[in-house]
Amino acid sequence: MLDFYLIHDEQSDATAADDLQHAGGIEAEEFEIAQQAGIVETTADFYSEFRWSSAQVRAKVLLLTNCPFRDSISLSHVLNQAQAAGVGLRAFGD
């Protein structure tokens, strides 16, 4: 599972997951589909950590509007939460 947490752009990468609000998670299959669709960067690794700024979140939400599977993926819900809160996302893979 790749878990996403809401994080303000000005917050440090050293902020522990326990100090952030959990926004949801996705499975490896969904991660791969999102990478193929160009929503998740090909350099991102499911089993590591990465971060998206609030501007990146807004751009990814726009990308999702043209995806035929947008309503069936958990990532859509996670991105919409972050956009509504005006924050970025930090991902932790396990």
Write down the domain spans for the chain: 2-8+18-93
> How much is the average pLDDT of 6-21?
93
Question: Is pLDDT at 72 greater than 70 in this prediction?
Answer: no
Given the structure tokens 């929503």, which residue do they identify?
39
Cα dihedral 84, 44, 16, 74 sign: positive
Q: Could you give the count of Cα atoms lying within 13 Å of 81 in the half-sphere of its Cβ?
A: 16
Using left for φ > 0, alpha for ψ between -120 and 50, and beta otherwise, residue 24 falls in: left
Residue 83: predicted pLDDT: 97
Other CB atoms within 10 Å distance of the CB of residue 94: 9
Question: Is pLDDT at 69 greater than 80 in this prediction?
Answer: no
CA distance 10 to 35: 26
